[in-house]
A and B are shown apart, each in its own frame.
Chain A
Amino acid sequence: MTTTEVGRARLRKEDAHLITGRSKYTDNITLPGMLHLAMVRSPFAHAKITSVDTAAAKSSPGVVAVLTGADVAAEQGSLPNVWPITPDQKAPAFPSIAVDEVAFAGEVVACIVARSAAAARDAVELVDVSYDELPVVMDLEEAFTDKVLAHSSLDSNLSATWVFDSGEAGTGKPIAAALASAEVLIERTFYQQRLIPAFMEPRSIVVDPTSEQITMWSSTQVPHILRLILALTLGIPESKVRVIAPDVGGGFGGKLTVIPEEFITLMAARRVGKPCKYTETRSESLQAGHHGRAQVQRLKLSATKDGIVTGLDVNLLADMGAYLGLIGSGIPILGAFMYNAIYKFPAYRLECNNIFTNKAWTGAYRGAGRPEATFAIERMMDELAVELGMDPLELREKNWIKHEEFPFTTVAGLEYDSGNYEAATAKALELFGYDALRAEQVRRRETNDPVQLGIGISTFTEMCGLAPSRVLGALSYAAGGWEHAQVRVLPTGNIEVITGSSPHGQGHETAWSQLVADRLGVPFENVEVLHGDTQSSPRGLDTYGSRSLTVGGMAVLAAADKVIEKARVVAAHMMEASQEDIEFADGKFSVRGTEQSTALGEIAFAVFSAHNLPDGFEPSLDSDATFDPQNFSFPHGTHLAAMEVDTETGQVTIRKYVCVDDVGVVVNPLIVEGQVHGGLAQGIAQALYEEAVYDDAGTLVTGSFVDYLVPSAPDLPHFTTARTETPSTTNQLGAKGVGEAGTIASTPAIVNGVLDAVRHLGVKDIKMPCSPSRVWAALEEAKMTGGVQ
């Protein structure tokens, strides 16, 4: 097989229609007779609902119906959590429309159905809800004490405690002994601030209930999962629901969930018997879409005096917000396997406490658990290096898995199939000019330059390709981790690829076309990729966790291989040769040792006409495949950030950012580059800019983009990106996944760099985001405590 497509930096098929305004986002859909929804939301973070008076709203012009929690109490059920991390996990009921109690500000308490969006919005003001306010608990550490309860129906804010202990699991030594015999012990607490996914397209839903099959369009990452959950929760037969994810403008995990508004729109449409649309405002999106991160991480790291780490103990408080979302409970657990990162730690323990607060519920956000883990360990490695007076890179090298040691089973029990940390690091150092920057750093320190320079390092790995189904089963996740694909051969030899991995900006149409064009030897242009509609792609587990290529892409290849095997039978028949003598290359079947050949297209037409096929041959080349990975894949990389800190103002600037990522075999370098850039921006945003802040009463203070600071292009440097390519051995392509790499690696690189710039001035830590005022305050505090050397 010649590969002319895999590895080629093709422009994306998807882009022309997106950038010329021809996109079909859910909000662009208008159906005949369609009605519009607006939500009445609780201004209080915790309150009893004592009454909901809808009379004035119902008589407002254009209003068709008003639904309250009481109206739908019998049918709405509870939004499900499909990841009970422990058998005794506690979760409050999560009704789409609150019935008696609200537990975060922004929770839906009623829904208006009206003839226009404006009429619906006007009527929101007219719904009179009476509340009895209850005490709120906003702070995670305070919530853990149970002094104030986030829900009056629960007797504790603790949802579950999950423990991994390498001693008990048999994957390593017991932690207690390692800590007790530590020559050096580093103890730190880190705060993972709350982040908001802030996808570009707000969530939007259209439901058409007017046919036998109800159709829902939703701006979701997970149309297949949504369909199943709607059926299970609302008791509608699965076959009577069709879900379509049309163009979806970003998700970052924020749309890897099912949301109250999807249920409400469906219930409203069924009641009024007309198509209904709901599109949230940006403020609603920030307030009531799920948030991410939000953890307190307490770590203990033991090491020998010469820098060999002997054990790591992690204690997490993870903020679930007010409810357990679809998979929110499992997000910290995804990180639990990554704290040991690229290192050979002999002992490891992690305890995770999932805790309720009166804030928006949390869920996946780009990286989902793994950025938190990577941040913590990469910060700890720097802290240890400082403690030992050792170069942070040298310390990492002492502890990391050498390339000749793969496959390597880690202390967390994962088998890393491949990797070459030495190669990625060497390349990064060269591109960065490490030694010259270190020399400049010394100069700036010596001259007391108001602008100090720091170098931040992050050597990361992540588990991608979610996920082997049996591993998910072992972690009590309700579903599997396989992916499905179908390859259809049209009579003309054109190809349709159906993928269950529903994209929302990743470029599947382009990448899958490249994969299939190579495998079947057909032109790239002749491949069409269909997705995101449960009618055309009936099976799938959708897009998240850097899984699409390593799982969904493998299903596509497996289906294409089945097409070749079917076509081989027909080719042998047509050329009157035995199947063993038929060779396939570049889209042609030929008889070994002869000039005779038949193109796939000719076979396609022969199968279509079915006039002359081998006896018993089913006249179709179309093939299905479902791929269940046997292991995760483990991308890795070395990221280096040169950070300038203006000590007069606390302003932080990225002077230079170099990353060398090893994502295995690359199908489309342009797409990989785009994923890395976007990922870096989001990771840098956590380090420097973004934070969801609530006031003491439970109101989201960062309720618009005026206060929730999402960086844009002018805030980011020119990134120097490069790759090493150590193929994964866990899939036939050798790919590893790239969707989350930049986000995971960049946050600790930036913060390590900021601290490296000001540590000599006595600063020991700065909470994220490292805003100018926080950096300045840290410098002032260091001055007061006499930290200046």
Chain B
Amino acid sequence: MFRLALKMLYGDVAKFIMLIGGLTVCSLLMTQQSGVFCGLMMWTTATIRNIDVPIWVCDAKVEQVNEVVPLRDVDVNRVRSVKGVEWAVPLYWGIIQTRLPNGAFQQVQLTGLDSATLVGRPPRMEKGTAEELRLPNAVIVDQVCVKKFKSKGLTLKVGDVFEINDKEARVVGICKAEQSFMGQPYVYTTYERALEYAPPQRKQLSFILVKPRADTPASEVVARIREVPGLAAFTAKDFADQTMGWYFKYTGIPISFGTVVVLGIIVGIAIAGQTFYLFVHENVRHLAALKAMGAGNVLLAEMVFLQAFVVGIAGYGLGTGLTAMLGAKFMTLGEPPFFLPWQVLAFAGGIIVFICLFAAGIGLIKVFRAEPAVVFR
């Protein structure tokens, strides 16, 4: 009977395609939008993973990593004197204008590393080494920078020169880094040189990067640094969580993506639910005939559920498959952001199951109500 239930479903080609199409669009909207949303959320914390240190110290007013409230240089020493700190180094982190030899401008994320230790060095070097940052006027650019400059007419190679705030910057290496939220390319240099490039300000230290001693838990060191007036400290994980939480709370991003996801769910329920109802409605006479011939409600319910879940699984497979293909394309292009954790897939699967249950449920009410005697009409 189950094979015949499926034949009944495939037999109505128009509705079969409608059903699968509706559920495909629904899964596609849900997973694709959630994927872009998760990717965007990942971008907000890319800096934390690029720099990759156990503890971040910042001004007490700072709530997330993309917001900089400068500290005084002496604060580095205040942190170094906290018990349990193995080392503490300064980081400059600011958006700044560069000028290409052909006169074009490009904003970059200037990252100034402690010159002695190079803590926070680029995660992956493609050309050159991080140590070469110690050479005069040396900078390392990331692949996004290469791409952006290229679009403005300069194919960056090691040895090329451009200007940051009218001062010379010479490329000694090219690296790969995770893309930041604002999308500006990374330009690495030393802390001291970053201050030369940056417009002069009273306070210029963006963050202090800290490693706790092996015998002291990071959380303990964080708690001690927080006791220093005017300073806040986070473990890398807490800082990332707090940053994502901040974007969740203070930006319209979750709402705009959430709207599309909800729209997807509504589309799924409306199209799939209604089409399936019509499908059952049109077949109710046949189902009643089966009932007259001795098919019980349980058997009929199993048939209807099978029909609903076959279209559900097909739609989910197609929708998530399309999302995966789009996602793969996005990831090779670098934007829009894309990250698809298994939770999103599970959530979308759950919604599809719910829609199928709902569609089969309203269909079943019709089947259960059908009097077998209608076959004589």
A and B are partners in one complex rather than unrelated chains: no
Partner-B contacts on A (CB < 8 A): none
Partner-A contacts on B (CB < 8 A): none
